[in-house]
């Protein structure tokens, strides 16, 4: 009987530990930051920024189409909001007139790679090629060399982040995911964003989301009403004397 009791206790403990591990993994996935939850000593991109001035950044990944881009640009112009677009090289070369429009409107442009691969599967040389060729293409078309990079699919490893940093680019992730690529309604997109934003947040959206252009005015008006100010990511992040904590938050040195 004692043996059975001990075995039962052991099973219960094992089950509880498994439950905690699953809960932790689910929590990380729900936050869109599984790699941060298990980060340990991993090299991390910037997910958000430690700020107390309510500045936040909207960002749009450009890889597939331009159907709603004019509408986005019109709203941004009317609202006098500058944002960051991350362009894949093949998108930039297919739609150079749109990349020029974005640049001429005063928005920031970062690279989103050359071919939109899972970059954690690439060698250092392949990573450098992706970043160099895409940056050169963007500079050739838009007239300014990118300073920021966002990994396709949000996929990265130590080699990628270390290589990006060594090349003088800032690797950028996000802490607020609109999930607009899932074709959510405009109200659902807006709710997801406005309920999750905090000072220093980086918001992920896409230039060709089905209802992104409809959601954008709601997002801007709601967040402004709550005292938030929109700036491009390049004006949100710190360029030197900073650390990145285990959650991917960029913190100026000297701040606890």
Q: Same domain for 24 and 125?
A: no
Q: If pLDDT is split at 50, 70 and 90, which confidence band does 28 have?
A: very low
Q: Same domain for 228 and 101?
A: yes
Q: Same domain for 94 and 216?
A: yes
Q: If pLDDT is split at 50, 70 and 90, which confidence band does 150 have?
A: very high
Question: Which CATH number goes with the domain that contains 97?
Answer: 3.20.20.370
39 lies in some domain: no
Q: Same domain for 88 and 207?
A: yes
Using the CB atoms, write b or e for 87-118: b if 16+ within 10 Å: bbbbbbbebeebbebbbeeebbbbbbbbebbe
When pLDDT is averaged across residues 100-119 and rounded to a whole number, the result is 98
The predicted pLDDT at position 256 comes to: 59
Q: What is the mean pLDDT of the chain?
A: 87
pLDDT at 20 over 50: no
Q: Using one digit for the tens of pLDDT, what is the confidence trace for 38-69?
A: 344 789 999 999 999 999 999 999 999 999 99
Q: What is the pTM of this model?
A: 0.84
The predicted pLDDT at position 23 comes to: 34
Q: Same domain for 80 and 16?
A: no
37 lies in some domain: no
Q: Same domain for 17 and 105?
A: no
DSSP secondary structure string, the chain?
A: -HHHHHHHHHHHHHHHHHHHHHHHHHHHHHTT-HHHHT-TT----B-EE--SS-EEEEEEEE-S--TTHHHHHHHHHHHT---EEEE-HHHHHH-HHHHHHHHHTT-EEEE--SS---GGGS-HHHHHHHHHHHHHHHHHHHSS---EE--GGG---HHHHHHHHHTTPEEB--SEE--GGGT--HHHHHHHHHTT--TTBEEEEETT-TTHHHHHHHHHHHHHHTT-EE--HHHHS-SSSEEE-TTSEEEETT--
Q: Same domain for 94 and 20?
A: no
User: Which residues span the domain enclosing 54?
Assistant: 45-252
List 59's β-bridge partners, or say none: 84, 204
The predicted pLDDT at position 243 comes to: 96
The total domain count for the chain is: 2
237 lies in some domain: yes
The predicted pLDDT at position 39 comes to: 40
């Amino acid at each position: 009987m004692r043996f059975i009791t001990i075995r039962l206790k052991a099973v219960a403990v094992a089950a509880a530990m498994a439950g905690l591990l699953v809960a932790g993994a689910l929590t990380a996935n729900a936050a869109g930051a599984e790699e941060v939850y298990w980060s340990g000593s991993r090299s991390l991109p910037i997910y958000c920024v430690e700020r107390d001035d309510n500045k936040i950044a909207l960002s749009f990944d450009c890889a597939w189409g331009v159907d709603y881009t004019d509408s986005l640009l019109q709203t941004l112009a009317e609202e006098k909001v500058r944002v960051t677009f991350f362009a894949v090289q093949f998108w930039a070369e297919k739609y150079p007139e749109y990349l020029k429009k974005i640049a001429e409107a005063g928005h920031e442009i970062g690279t989103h790679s050359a071919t939109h691969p899972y970059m954690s599967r690439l060698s250092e040389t392949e990573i450098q090629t992706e970043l160099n060729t895409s940056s050169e293409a963007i500079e050739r078309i838009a007239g300014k060399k990118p300073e920021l990079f966002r990994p396709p699919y949000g996929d990265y490893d130590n080699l990628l982040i270390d290589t990006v940093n060594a090349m003088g680019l800032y690797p950028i992730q996000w802490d607020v995911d609109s999930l607009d690529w899932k074709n959510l309604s405009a109200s659902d997109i807006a709710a997801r964003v406005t309920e999750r934003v905090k000072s220093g947040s980086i918001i992920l959206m896409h230039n060709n989301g089905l209802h992104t252009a409809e959601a954008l005015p709601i997002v801007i008006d709601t967040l402004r009403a709550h005292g938030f100010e929109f700036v491009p990511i390049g004006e949100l992040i710190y360029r030197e004397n900073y650390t990145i904590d285990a959650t991917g938050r960029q913190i100026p040195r000297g701040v606890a």
